[in-house]
Amino acid sequence: MEFLTHLPNLTAFALTLMLTLLLPRLMERLHLPGPVGYILAGIILGPNLLAVLNPDGKVVNFFADIGKLLLMFFAGFEVDIDQFNRARRKAATFGLLTFACPFVLAAAVGATMGYPPIACAVIGAVLASHTLLGLPIVKKHDLMGNEPVVATVGATVLTDMLSILVLAICLPIHVGGFEPAALVIQLAWLAVYVPGVLWGLSAAARWLLGVLGTSKAAHTTIVLLAIAIAAQVAEWIGMEGIIGAFLAGVALKRALGNSGREDALEVISQALFIPVFFITAGFLVDFKLFFATLRDQPLLVIGILAALFGGKWLAAQAAGRLFGYQVAERSLMFALTVPQVAATLAVALVAYATKNPAGQRLIDEPVLNATVVLVIVSSVVGLILAERAARGVAAPAVTSPPADGAPPSTGTRVVPP
């Protein structure tokens, strides 16, 4: 099928659009989540099968990066600010639990396999974060206002920040030893960055709207500019861009409210950018590498998968029971925190590329390969679990007020008081 690798750009684009239209709907008919179809499209179009799309192509990677940022932006934008403020302690508690449980289990797996403490900490950081691949499913079932979902979305920011912070601490130690000053500087930047985005971008967006007007074109341009600035500054201070995109969503929700003018950006995001992000996740599926890793490092792969699923499940159960959530709601929290893509790959790839003066990598190739397996399995399983859990949460019609310390939730939608 070498002729497929030389298809004209428009033909390859048309083929991609066709698969992104058909495969998600096929998955839904098979009672699987639609985003699985995008990942399947990536497997088919990627370098390991038809090779229609070039995974190293600048356009594909740019679209995927924009899709990843937009996915996190809308996650922040769709959070009810008042409800988030009432649930912030729950989000922080769940964030700490869903970071700590898989982190400890994964670090223990690394230690059992003979890795040094610094590598064990990075292995833990790889598993501790998560990517909200299930948000389109949650939105489809109209559950973005559900308190456990709000707490989970808020927890995502904390887990990503902590994972990147662990990496930021481990990198200089591996290369040249521990430097307390570097850690202090990183924490100082974080303390300045988060409030700067939340309040600074809100004020800047209001000012720009007053200058440029409130047309859809101006509105969309301001949103994209805010996302780009927040993500770029996050990367400049050593954090992951998705954290900036999420915070930009929260900030612009404060500034813009539910104006409805973000609909145009959301349409193009759901039709093009976000599907491309899922497609690039499918590029990672190399069946030779997949089965070779399973054959050569079965204990490492099984241990890492067990640490992920066990740790995320323990965190969801502990937090859910503490907050009085129902079984289906706890299952949804678990499902949303299982997929490992954005921050996971960022931490793993940076750690793999980092060498000390002796030429030793921070994490070796078996760990990187196991991470690829982790991304594949967690993405597919997480989406399937999210679809099932979302249906279970959406089924009841009872609602309950969502305040910290309020009576336990007995329904799905939280009605603002």
Over the chain, what is the mean pLDDT? Answer: 82
- Is the distance from CB of 27 to CB of 33 less than 8 angstroms? yes
Region 300-319: what's the mean pLDDT? 94
Residue with tokens 């720009």: 208
Q: What are 1-51's pLDDT values in tens digits? A: 554 556 788 888 888 889 989 998 888 787 666 777 888 888 888 888 888
pLDDT range class, residue 224, cuts 50, 70, 90: very high
Q: What integer pLDDT is reported at residue 363 of this predicted model?
A: 86
Alpha carbon distance 21, 59 (integer Å): 20
> Exposed e or buried b for every residue in 7-18, given b needs 16+ CB within 10 A?
beeeebeebbee
Alpha carbon distance 319, 116 (integer Å): 31
What phi and psi, each to the nearest 5 degrees, are found at residue 355?
Answer: -120, 150
Q: How far lies 95's CA from each of 28, 153, 301, 341, 355, in Å?
A: 31, 9, 25, 17, 31
Q: What integer pLDDT is reported at residue 80 of this predicted model?
A: 66
Q: For residue 88, is pLDDT > 50?
A: yes
Tokens of 366: 């078996």
pLDDT range class, residue 323, cuts 50, 70, 90: very high
Q: What integer pLDDT is reported at residue 414 of this predicted model?
A: 46
Sequence-ordered list of residues with C-beta below 8 angstroms from that of 152, at least 6 positions apart, any chain? 91, 94, 132, 332, 333, 336, 337
* pTM across the whole model: 0.75
By C-alpha distance, which of 97, 210, 102, 105 is closest to 158? 97
Residue with tokens 């989000």: 91
Question: Residue type at 200?
Answer: G
Q: What integer pLDDT is reported at residue 410 of this predicted model?
A: 44
Q: What integer pLDDT is reported at residue 39 of this predicted model?
A: 82
Q: What integer pLDDT is reported at residue 158 of this predicted model?
A: 83
Q: For residue 409, is pLDDT > 60?
A: no
pLDDT range class, residue 169, cuts 50, 70, 90: confident
Region 273-288: what's the mean pLDDT? 81
Q: What are 365-403's pLDDT values in tens digits? A: 888 878 878 888 888 898 889 989 998 887 764 444 444
Q: What integer pLDDT is reported at residue 87 of this predicted model?
A: 79
Alpha helices (H) in 78-116, listed in sequence order: 81-86, 88-112
pLDDT range class, residue 325, cuts 50, 70, 90: very high
Q: What are 39-85's pLDDT values in tens digits? A: 888 888 888 888 888 888 888 889 988 988 888 888 778 766 666 67
Q: What are 119-168's pLDDT values in tens digits? A: 999 999 988 888 888 888 888 888 888 889 989 988 887 887 788 778 87
Q: What are 260-280's pLDDT values in tens digits? A: 666 778 888 888 888 888 888
By C-alpha distance, which of 86, 229, 97, 204 is closest to 155? 97
